[in-house]
Structures are given as C-alpha cells and as structure tokens.
Amino acid sequence: MDKKLFKSTQDELNKIKLNLSAKNFSSIGLLRGISGFNIFLGELYQLEKDPEYIEKLNQEIESTISAIGNNSQVEFGSSSGLAGWAWSLAYLKSIEMIDFPRGFLKGIDHAAIEEVVEKISTQDYDPLHGSIGLGLYLLKRKKRKVVSKIIHSLNDSKIEDEFGIKWIKNRYKVDEVIDLGLAHGIIGILYFLSKCYKEGVNKRISKTLINGVIKYLKSIIQDFSQAGSFFPNSIRKDFTEVTPSKSRLAWCYGDLTILYTLFQTAIIIQDEELKKSVIARLIITAKRDKESENFVEDSVFCHGTSGIAHLYNKLWKQTQQLEFRNASLYWLQETINANINNSNAEGYKFMIRNNNKEKIFNLSSGLLEGICGVGLVYISFLTKGDSNWDECLLL
C-alpha cells in the first residue's frame, strides 16, 4: 500500500477510535455487542502498544462479569450471548492480552454442551446462531466429544445423491432450499468440518462429508459469462436444472466467500487440483469491481466493502497473487471513500430494507455490521502479519 493510502487508513481508524466506547453497546454479544469491542481493543493494542487499551479491556471485562452476575436473563448464543463472550475471552487469552483461572469458563462450557445437544435434536446447523456456531466455540475449548456429536448428526441428516452432499436450510423454514452462504448455509458447515478435520476430530467422517460438499459445489458451478457469478445464493432442494442467478460479492454470501472457504479447505485436505481451480476462479472474482453490479451498498463487514477488502487481503498474504493485492486495495479505498468527508464515523452505515423493501441506512457499532468490524479491517491492513480475530467470522 502506498503512503497516501496508508495514511488514509490510519486517519479513518482514528475516527473510529474516537467514536467507539463501551456505552455504544447494549449486549455482551460477539458480533453486535461488547465482546466485539473487546477484540477491537486487543487488536488495537497489538498495533499501537498503548497500555491504555489493556486498561480499558480489563475494565470492560470486569464490568461485563458484574453485569452477568446481576442478570439472570442473559442470552446464551455464540454470536449474541454468553458463548460469544466466552469465545472472545478465550481468543484474547490465546494472544496473551488477558489471563483467567483454568476453570473460569467451565460453567459456560457445560451450558454450551447442553445447548448443542438441544440444537442438533432439531437439526439446527446454523453456522452463526445454531449448533455449528456453538461447536466452533467448543472446538476452541477442546471439547472434542460433543463436537464429534455434531459431526455424527450432520452425517445422519445429510442429503446425498449423485450430485454430492448438502443439508436443507433449517433456521428459516419458509421454503426448502440449499443455502450456499457462509453465515447460515453449507459453506459455514464446510468451514466447521474442515476445522474438525484439521484438529483431528472424527477425521474419517469429516473427510467424507467434506468431499461430498465439494462434489456438490462443483456440480452447481454456473457459466460465469452468463450468470455473472460462479454460484447463486441458494438453490431449491428439488432442483433438476439450475437457472443462472447472480450472487453478491461479500463475506456472507456469493463467490468470494464460497471460493475462499474452498481454498482454505483445499489447503487443509491437501488437494492441489482443487486449490488451483479455486484460485483461478478467485482471480476472476477479483475483477468484479463495481459496487452497484455486485450488490454492494455499504461499507460494513457482513455484506459491504470492508469484508470484501479483508478477504482479498488475506488471499494476498497467503498467495502473493497480485490480482488479490489489487482487489484488496481497491475495496479498501472504497471503504475509506464511504467516510472520507466526515470528521466522525457517520459514513460507515449499514443498509437494511424495511417491510416495504425500502433501503434504510443505520449506524451501528458492532463487529459484523458496524464500525468495530471496519476498524478491525483497517488494523489488519496496517499490520504486517496476520491475526486470527476473524475466526469468529468463520475465516
């Protein structure tokens, strides 16, 4: 990155720092609450080495512990509740930002195990909010027995045919579709299975399921010249012929997140042929550089420019492929452009649609859909090495 872009990135990070504080958050959650802010403080310290961030971090953790003790109705989930908060603590301990006694998270671990058993009984495999999300926390906590139960449940409930292996979207039972998203679909499940295989948890079944998902994904690749993308967002369960459908460029859904996850999976299972074919398609996605044509309407991590910039930046660091470097810097500049004329962080709003399908732009502080996530992306660009904070986003 040239000096001008480097300085612009620093300037925007400083704006975010001035606009972020604990009072911005009303929950303890990881993706939208105080836990994401704690990760931001930890990564900020790694970048700037200012002891003020350590002090703030410890204050926020102590404050949250007190709040939890005084509230019997705290949500539990991996993305929005206690399990997500515990994940952030485990991560911060792993990078030596904090410390706590060995049994400190024992109660949360036990509750997470019970929650997993309940969720797999209803085949709730949502990667962010269901058994997969909790399973990733428990995998980090070395609770291999219950993680193995999730793998067995996935194996028992899979749909397998000549096209490969997939699962029906369970969390939103509006229609029966194969969800191809990282956030809520089979790409998130593929990520989970790859992590399990890498960690040696039920490797035989994990590998079988991984190969089946890869086979399925290969069977639904679209003609890019016709559809504008290699994959759609979802496919009906009973499809016989797929109508070409263009998907967005984003972290949550679309070519970039599907191919990125396939690339990481190929590395883990040591499939060189898959790795080469995925890289070739990722290079093509790097040329998708118009926001309006790629359904990019904001700058937040989930479905905006900062998430796209981050994924290409990770690919650049892994492969040293110039196309990924250029794409990462392009989307970084687009993220900066969203706020460059503001003295605060007002430009980093995320887009949602109301009941009338009208676009509404809101300013949020969270990691997934707010300025905390944008700030973490800026830190990653300003840091020479790589960090693992984005494991909470299945990366």
SS (H, E, C) 103-164: CCCHHHHHHHHHHHHHHHHCCCCCCCCCHHHHHHHHHHCCCHHHHHHHHHHHHHHCEEECCE
What mean pLDDT do residues 21-49 have?
90
- Picking from 335, 333, 325, the residue whose alpha carbon sits closest to that of residue 300 is 335
**Taking all residues of the chain, what is their mean pLDDT, rounded to a whole number?**
91
What mean pLDDT do residues 376-386 have?
93
CB of 242 closer than 8 Å to CB of 222: yes
Note the pLDDT of residue 242: 61
Phi, psi (rounded to 5 degrees) for 322: -60, -30
Residue type, 160: E
Cα separation, 116 vs 123, whole angstroms: 10
Q: Give the H/E segment covering residue 351.
A: strand 349-353
- What percent of the chain lies above the pLDDT cut of 70? 96
Note the pLDDT of residue 171: 47
- The residue whose two tokens read 């290079």 is 283
Structure tokens at 213: 């998902």
Lowest mean pLDDT among 3-12, 96-105, 145-154: 96-105
pTM of the entire predicted model? 0.94
- CA-to-CA separations, 387 to 46, 181, 238, 313, in angstroms, rounded: 10, 24, 41, 12
pLDDT level of residue 241 (50, 70, 90 thresholds) = low
Find the distance separating the first CA and the last CA of the chain, reported in whole Å: 23
Cα separation, 71 vs 31, whole angstroms: 20
- Long-range contacts of residues 72-76, Cβ cutoff 8 Å, at least 24 apart: 74/28, 75/27, 75/28, 75/29, 76/111, 76/112, 76/115
Note the pLDDT of residue 329: 97
Question: In sequence order, which residues have a C-beta less than 8 Å from that of residue 339 and are 6 or more positions away?
Answer: 12, 15, 299, 345, 346, 347, 348
Bridge partners (DSSP) of residue 309 are: none
What mean pLDDT do residues 333-339 have?
95
Cα separation, 155 vs 208, whole angstroms: 9
Cα separation, 383 vs 161, whole angstroms: 45
CB of 168 closer than 8 Å to CB of 237: yes
Bridge partners (DSSP) of residue 362 are: 350
Does 106 have pLDDT greater than 90? yes
Note the pLDDT of residue 164: 95
- CA-to-CA separations, 265 to 259, 261, 269, 395, in angstroms, rounded: 10, 6, 6, 11
Does 71 have pLDDT greater than 80? no
